[in-house]
Amino acid sequence: MEASVPPALRCARCGAAVDGTQHTRSGYVVGYYLLRTGRTEEAAVRRRDDEAPITYRRVVEPFDVVSCLRCFREPDVHRLWLGFGDQP
């Protein structure tokens, strides 16, 4: 077994390395914003044989978008966040 070191997170827009959220006694400081998105497909789940299947959007290729605090305030990044789920 190899010890796995998580790769350093970088802002998807400007490439700046971002720090994780710092927890302090009085609260926490957000170091970056993370948007989990990805390609989705329609999937159906049936809990019991006599039930109609429920269709839902399944994320088949999860993709994380990291944004530093500075870029998060930029309009184009904000649009990306607001458009979450609207894949072309």
Which residues sit at the interface with Zn ion, rule CB under 5 A? Answer: 11, 13-14, 16, 68, 71
For residue 59, the minimal CB distance to Zn ion (Å) is 24
Q: Please, which residue, 59 or 69, has the CB nearer to Zn ion?
A: 69
Tokens (6 digits) for 71:
């870029």
CB of 40 to Zn ion, least distance (A): 26
Question: DSSP per residue over 45-73, as a string?
Answer: E-SSTTSPPEEEEEEEEEEEEEEEHHHHT
Indicate the residue among 71 and 80 with the shorter CB distance to Zn ion: 71
- What whole-number distance in Å separates Cα of residue 44 and Cα of residue 62? 18
